[in-house]
Amino acid sequence: AMVTFKLENRDKANLYLNGKKAGEIRGKLDKALREGKYKVEVREDLADKSYYYFSDTIEVFDGDMTTVSIEMKQKYTEEYYIQNQQYEEYLKKYPNGKYASQAKTEKANVIKNISKNMVAVEGGTFYMGSNESSDEKPIHNVTLDSFYIGKYEVTQAEFGAVMGYNPSNFSGGRNPVEQVSWYDAVMYCNELSKREGLTPYYDISGIEKDGNRIKSADVTISGGNGYRLPTEAEWEYGAR
């Protein structure tokens, strides 16, 4: 029988028949097979420790000419989660995995290092606004006291370690967290404050969720000494 193995969503991958490597598929691969049943596995390993995989069982008969369409799905190894700093996801998936102890330690270190990644911004006066945009008019002087702000955007590793979940679509522990609402952001500030023994800056009540995501809540400023979001003026001044 002549069987064509055709990749539908990858450029190349290794083909295994009944557990033995049977060649490399580059787009498609034609194989002459004897009559019988075959366990088909197709795998492509990636540098980030994830891989694409396909598995199926086929039966071929003498004289057949058939095509096996291969739609591969991405899979993730234990090493993938550790290498990409996705410690919270690792511990949920592999609570007793071989890297569980390391993941717990690294998760704790992520939280400890958040405050170390804050930078001091000396207060001052700057021109804010624009005469070219109606919602930014007019240009005006703004004076700010000194403040601390995160050196980088909140990463997925940081958000996951504090909140216990990662809502992001473009996953990667070092990547900025996304798919969060403003309510999620202020809740993150409060939870981080509690972990460091600070008084939460926000008072949050009447929380309504869609899954993990907070879609609405009543938020007031309690004035604690904990973490908060920067004001628009602080964000613009700090970015300069």
Q: What is the pLDDT of residues 204-222, one digit of tens each?
A: 999 999 999 999 999 999 9
Q: Residue 133 pLDDT > 90, yes or no?
A: no
* Both tokens assigned to 161: 């370690």
pLDDT band at 132 (very low <50, low <70, confident <90, very high): confident
pLDDT at 137: 80
Q: Is 81 exposed, middle or buried (0-12, 13-18, 19+ CB in 10 A)?
A: buried
- DSSP lists the bridge partners of residue 140 as 128
pLDDT tens profile 1-28: 999 999 999 999 999 999 999 999 999 9
Q: How far apart are CA 150 and CA 122, in angstroms?
A: 14
Q: What is the pLDDT of residue 61?
A: 96
DSSP state, 117? G
pLDDT of the residue at 87: 95
Is there a contact between 172 and 160 (Cβ–Cβ < 8 Å)?
no
* Structural element, H or E, at residue 106: helix 100-114
* DSSP-based three-state secondary structure for 147: strand
Of residues 178, 219, 215, 216, the one with CA closest to residue 201: 219
Q: How far apart, in whole angstroms, are the C-alpha atoms of residue 189 and residue 212? A: 16
